[in-house]
Structure 1
Amino acid sequence: MTLATRRIAPVLSILRPAAHIPQINIQPRTINYVHSRTFSTSIPYYAAMEHVFSPKAVAPIGPYTQAIKANGMVFLSGQIPANSQARLIEGTIAEKTHKMCQNAKAVLEAAGSSLDKAVRVTVYFQNMDDMKEMNEVYAEYFPHKPARSACESPRLPADASMEMDIIALE
């Protein structure tokens, strides 16, 4: 045995599978759904995606859906203070917040969820000074205090003064 062979031999023994370790053959789990996507992981996994629509909420004003259900979660698109025909309502920040939360509630209920199951909320404002008045109404709809972010955006869809998106449990 040469010096090089003595150095490599222990390494090769590590790379060879031991006889006592069972070999596992993992096959992708296939589920037939209308909308399925493959997520990138070390073990193939297929997740179903289901579009959600509620006629009680704002109709989408672009190429998107009101919400998507996937893997036990509901992902709401941005909800604005508008009626079901996507016409913005007039009124105070409190009234607009009520409408936005009612729209979100309608979509979540259509998905088999509720506002109580919200885990993450993002609120976008044209003017951050509106946050204080919005918080008073927001607390009525989200007493369980889900994680939340808020930011100011100079321009929102349909020239809305605020928008909210939500991630909730199914």
Structure 2
Amino acid sequence: MKKLISTPNAPAAIGPYAQANLVNGILYISGQIPLNPETGKLVEGIEEATNQVMKNLEAVLLGAGMTFKNVVKATIFLKDMDDFNVMNDIYASYLDAEYYPARETVQVSCLPKNVDIEISMIAHQF
């Protein structure tokens, strides 16, 4: 059975999708962009943007009763691969090395609202 996960602590969906779906203990989190859920405004600069995206993802995880330790897969989209090292350091600061998820990072030509970063995740209840 599919359960929609929605929290006011992460940005509301800007299209026809859910923040996340929980199916058979697996949480599929939609891509999060650096949108501040309190102000509704985009956060700019790769450092601030990455932090906001990770906070948004954490809010969705917590809304499903999980943490970053439950994440098994992450997909990172960057508009500029030159931002990789800065993004990677910030991303890693939210995770426990014993629980690193599988991951890929790809450069794309454009993202929703022309942001610099978007991250989606898959988590599993243990």
TM-score by length of 2: 0.92
Q: 1:146 aligns with which of 92, 98, 101?
A: 101
Aligned residue for 2:32, secondary structure, equals coil
> How many residues are treated as equivalent by the alignment?
122
Read off the aligned partner of 2:41 and give its amino acid letter. Answer: R
TM-score by length of 1: 0.69
1:156 Cα shift? 0.6
Work out which structure has the larger RCO, using CA pairs closer than 8 Å and 6 or more positions apart in sequence. Answer: 2
Is residue 87 from structure 1 mapped to residue 51 from structure 2 by the alignment? Answer: no
* Mapping 1:70-109, distance limit 5 Å: 70-84=23-37, 86-90=40-44, 92-109=45-62
Read off the aligned partner of 1:77 and give its amino acid letter. Answer: S
RMSD between aligned alpha carbons?
1.1
Query: Sequence identity of aligned pairs in percent?
Result: 38
Aligned residue for 2:28, secondary structure, equals strand
Aligned residue for 2:52, secondary structure, equals helix
Is residue 136 from structure 1 mapped to residue 89 from structure 2 by the alignment? Answer: yes
In the alignment, structure 1 segments of 5+ residues that lack a partner are 1-47
Cα 1:86–1:78 shift into 2, 3 Å: farther
What corresponds to 1:8 in structure 2? none
In the alignment, structure 2 segments of 5+ residues that lack a partner are none
Aligned residue for 1:100, secondary structure, equals helix
> Where has structure 1 moved over 2 Å in runs of 4 or more?
none
Is residue 158 from structure 1 mapped to residue 113 from structure 2 by the alignment? Answer: yes
Deviations 1:20-56 (A, max 9, x none): xxxxxxxxxxxxxxxxxxxxxxxxxxxx000010101
1: CA distance, partners of 2:18 / 2:64: 12
Higher radius of gyration, 1 or 2: 1
1:87 Cα shift? 2.3
Contact in 2 for aligned 1:61/1:86 (Cα 8 Å): no
Deviations 1:108-138 (A, max 9, x none): 1101111111000000011111111001111
